Chains A and B, each alone.
Chain A
Amino acid sequence: MSQIHIQNGRIIDPANNIDRIGSVYIADGQIMSVTHEPAGFTPDTIIDAGNQIVCPGFIDLSTRLREPGQSRKATFKSETVAAASAGVTTMCLQPDTVPVIDTAAVAELVKDLAEKTGYQQIYPIAALTRKLEGIELSSMLSLKQAGCIAVGNASQPVQNLLILRRAMEYAASHDLLLIFRPNDYWLGNKGCAHEGAFATRYGLPGIPEAAETIALSHCLELAELTGCRVHFGQISCKRAVIKIHQAKKYGLNVSADVAIHQLHLTENDIQPFDSSYHVLPPLRTETDKNALRQGLASGTLDAICSDHQPHDMDAKLGAFPETEPGISSLETLLPLMLRLVAQQKITLQQGIAALSTNPARILRLNSGALTPGFTADVCVFNPELNWQIDAESWQSQGLNTPFWGQTMTGKVTHTLQAGKLIYRQGE
């Protein structure tokens, strides 16, 4: 198999505490070395990464590619191109596809679609409950054997705590990670915006922080009771960050991520009734945004996810509460992370770790680091390059981003997935 030599780049590998100019040697889909040229190394590809950063490929803990079932919104083909161009080499798919990923057959269909697209590292998250209804357990073991990396109930709350307890016990029995978005069904009150000044002014049904923190508290208690490993997805408010900090300090085996847009946008940024800002959990306040940034810097929040949700035009065409929530966000993941670094909210090492090292640890993958023997998932990016979000640059089929038209700084130039070059800028 091919050998690749990436040279002259600034290598940042948080797992191995590396930050220096050097070379990465890749063979047979694996990292060979980042210190010295292996004996008999004869690269067939040399990538010059001068003035660029070389780091582990990004691992996205929450993505929706809309297949099967909703190919009018996006397809594996369109979204894997977007992912590769964004340096994302591994994606966890939320189970709320049509049909739901609640049987081995659907999980296998997803794996097949990934195979056919030529983008190998797509891991379905198995539905925790059948049809995500929160009533009956899914066949978690069969789903795990069919390639699911974790279990979760996507955006659907499990209303009955006894069922959640049993689902967590069953998941723990098979050493399955639960990926859980805390959201109390009743307190959520079918809202579409944060219960704050914006929702008050525009007469929109609001979602209080308590909808998140109460569901989070329930799940933390059940994590202790059941011993289930839990990863909390898309944390959106300050009080949730505090609770996760306390739980970690107490010694619970939990982790958490935040969606990239939550680190930049608040309810104050929402243009009246502009549906591109309609996202769940909702954009909250300046205080929450700052707490999320601090949580990331302190390590309370382990990872940043894209929470990529591409939509077709019609889904976003309507009065705000009637539109579908979600932001198309794979391609803004890196530049918006770099924006936090430029604003000195986190270090570059922290940002890269939140996108690679830490998600790999949470998912127990042999990637997310440039350790010899690990899967050669590598991202090379130019941290200075400015580019504009427009129809020409954008790859995702979903154009639903509130950052449309803005200039981003930082662009991926090469993406390697298991030693295979899946993206090269300009091709």
Chain B
Amino acid sequence: MSSNLQLNSEGKLKHFLTLEGLSKELLTEILDTAESFAGMSDSQVKKVPLLRGKTIVNLFFENSTRTRTTFELAATRLSADVLSMNIATSATSKGESLLDTIRNLEAMFVDMFVVRHAISGAAHFIAQHTAPHISVINAGDGQHAHPTQAMLDMFTIRQIKQDFSSLRVAIIGDILHSRVARSQIQALNILGAAEVRVIAPKTLLPAHVESLGVTVSHNLTEGLKDIDVIIMLRLQKERMTSALLPSESEYFKCFGLTEDKLKIANPDAIVMHPGPINRGVEIDSKVADGPQSVILKQVSNGIAVRMAIMAMAMQTSAAAPGRSAIVGNN
């Protein structure tokens, strides 16, 4: 159902809510399209007229600087009109106000919603109830999914490693609360990575994490063996107050990525982090700023990947030019 909801009758992307149910071909198409946009970012002319006349509303019910700004830049470079709204969630009857907010904005002839919300399933809900011509992009919902972040991570991995089939990827940290991790795991499995390994204490893993298609380790030293890609997750401070962890220092001792630990992984392993990073909590500064880190590359790739996803989702409603037109602007 979730996949049907995202695709139109021709199997083209209509909404982008989750990676679940999407094909390897579609994910590869997103990465290829993003590649053509990425080349464009370096050139003098950074804009293409693909979404000229379209109105995109960034609906952020939860704060975010990085994701929101890259979405804004991506939309601007596609020549769309962009409106960003930060909406604090009210404590009561969020469902009703959420729907009312959407209805009100629809009345302003919006073409796309980019939604971030603290509750899992919020983007699905909006996609189900919004007007049929509107596309919905999930910019992170609760602990469920953050598919554009996962795709920009895949893009970064592919830039460096080319092929997924031989890759062993470790995701380290708070998997339980991470929508990024859930989407990364789905993306890596769809793209055919050799192994996706999660490394965390039991308190930071969902109860049935193996059902996501991963192997599990509770020990960073053992878990990093043979790993080609290391993805660190941000550790929220509130995990300490909810008795999931004893202290930041103990966490860093067990699961923090240091230069020594990094040596256990394959020598050409890359280090990723969706940001913002906690230096000295999940990652040592020497690693974060070191030669194997691709953290800033991830940020710049965010724009191209989000441009690709927005352009593809809008192609179903607009007769936008194909990829050749995009490449032609290069």
Contact = CB atoms under 8 A, between A and B. Distances in A.
A201 B117 contact: no
Interface stretch (B49-57, B73-81, B166-174, B204-212): B204-212
B270 interface: no
Interface string B109-145: 0000000010111101100010000000000011111
A200 B208 CA distance: 6
A87 to B, nearest CB: 34
Given A271-B1, A272-B124, A319-B125, A200 B209 contact: yes
A202 B206 CA distance: 11
Interface stretch (A74-82, A121-129, A191-199): A191-199
Interface stretch (A22-30, A162-170, A203-211): A203-211
B179 A318 contact: no
Contacts of A273: 2, 120-121, 124-125
B141 A200 contact: no
**Most A CB atoms within 10 A — which of B1, B124, B145, B208?**
B208
A202 B182 CA distance: 8
A320 B120 CA distance: 7
Contact of B2 (A208, A272, A319): A272
A322 interface: yes
A323 interface: yes
B99 interface: yes
**Most A CB atoms within 10 A — which of B93, B94, B125, B209?**
B125
B1 A319 contact: no
Given A203-B120, A203-B143, A271-B1, A318 B94 contact: yes
Contact of B95 (A195, A196, A200, A323): A323
A24 to B, nearest CB: 47
Contact of B143 (A204, A274, A317): A204
Given A200-B207, A204-B120, A319 B20 contact: no
Interface in A153-207: 195-197, 199-204, 206
Interface in B260-288: none
Contacts of B119: 319, 321-322
A314 B93 CA distance: 9
B95 A199 contact: no
A199 B124 CA distance: 16
Contact of A195 (B2, B120, B207): B207
Interface residues on A, range: 20 to 34
B193 interface: no
B120 A201 contact: no
Interface residues on B, range: 20 to 34
Interface in A264-304: 271-274
Nearest to B124: A273
B98 interface: yes
A319 B117 contact: yes
B96 interface: yes
A319 B208 contact: no
A203 B144 contact: yes
Interface in B146-199: 179, 182
B95 A317 contact: yes
Contacts of A319: 94-95, 98, 117, 119-122, 124-125, 141-142
Contacts of A202: 120-121, 144
Contacts of A200: 206-209, 211-212
A203 to B, nearest CB: 3
Interface of A: 195-197, 199-204, 206, 208, 271-274, 314, 317-323
Given A272-B1, A322-B94, A322-B95, 5 more contacts: A199-B206, A204-B120, A273-B121, A273-B124, A319-B119
Kindly list the 8 A-B residue pairs having the minimum CB-CB distance in the complex, ordered from nearest.
Answer: A318-B95, A203-B143, A203-B144, A273-B121, A319-B121, A200-B206, A197-B211, A319-B122
30 contacts: A195-B207, A196-B207, A196-B208, A199-B208, A200-B212, A203-B144, A203-B182, A204-B121, A204-B142, A204-B143, A204-B144, A271-B1, A272-B124, A314-B93, A314-B95, A314-B96, A317-B95, A317-B96, A317-B129, A318-B94, A318-B96, A318-B99, A319-B94, A319-B98, A319-B122, A319-B124, A319-B125, A319-B141, A321-B121, A321-B142
